[in-house]
Amino acid sequence: MAETHDERRRRLRYQLIQLHVQMAKVLAGLLEPIAIPAIKRKGLFTQQVLDDLEFAYVAVNAQELDEQIQLHLGEMIMDWRAAADYLNDEKRRASTINLDFASLQATRVLTTVHIVREMLYGSPDD
């Protein structure tokens, strides 16, 4: 049985929470660690989460990092934010194509996490 639109949306929200944890680990592992607090299940779209991501984005771009790593980290943060925005937007959330877009952005975040881990540590799963 195929999952319903609401089930898929809930699954994507959960996936974004898990991706946020992975992003936090990557950012905390930089030479100049960047801390982003964990989010609560219901807190996916709070202003505090968005402010924390804005802080992380600015901090990444202020660090002296390899240019490719810096670009990937910025993309990771922006892709996560885009997925969260699409899942939260009341006007967009009922659309299948917007769920597809959020899913694509979540996949990009996961891929970028692995790429950055590989670049930093030599292994995508460290």
Q: What is the pLDDT of residues 61-114, one digit of tens each?
A: 999 999 999 999 999 999 999 998 888 776 666 678 888 999 999 999 999 999
Instruction: Report yes or no: 38 and 31 within 8 Å, Cβ to Cβ.
Output: no
Instruction: Compute the distance between CA of residue 66 and CA of residue 108 in angstroms, rounded to an integer.
Output: 20
pTM recorded for the entire structure: 0.89
Instruction: Compute the distance between CA of residue 63 and CA of residue 38 in angstroms, rounded to an integer.
Output: 22
Nearest 10 degrees: CA dihedral of 78, 57, 116, 14? -50
Instruction: Compute the distance between CA of residue 14 and CA of residue 6 in angstroms, rounded to an integer.
Output: 12
Q: What is the DSSP letter of 30?
A: S
CA distances from 104 to 48, 55, 82, 86, 98 (A): 24, 24, 10, 11, 10
Domain ranges (residues) in the chain:
5-121
Instruction: Compute the distance between CA of residue 20 and CA of residue 27 in angstroms, rounded to an integer.
Output: 10
Q: What is the pLDDT of residues 3-50, one digit of tens each?
A: 888 888 889 988 999 999 999 999 999 999 999 988 876 666 778 888
Distance of CA 125 to the CA centre of its chain: 16
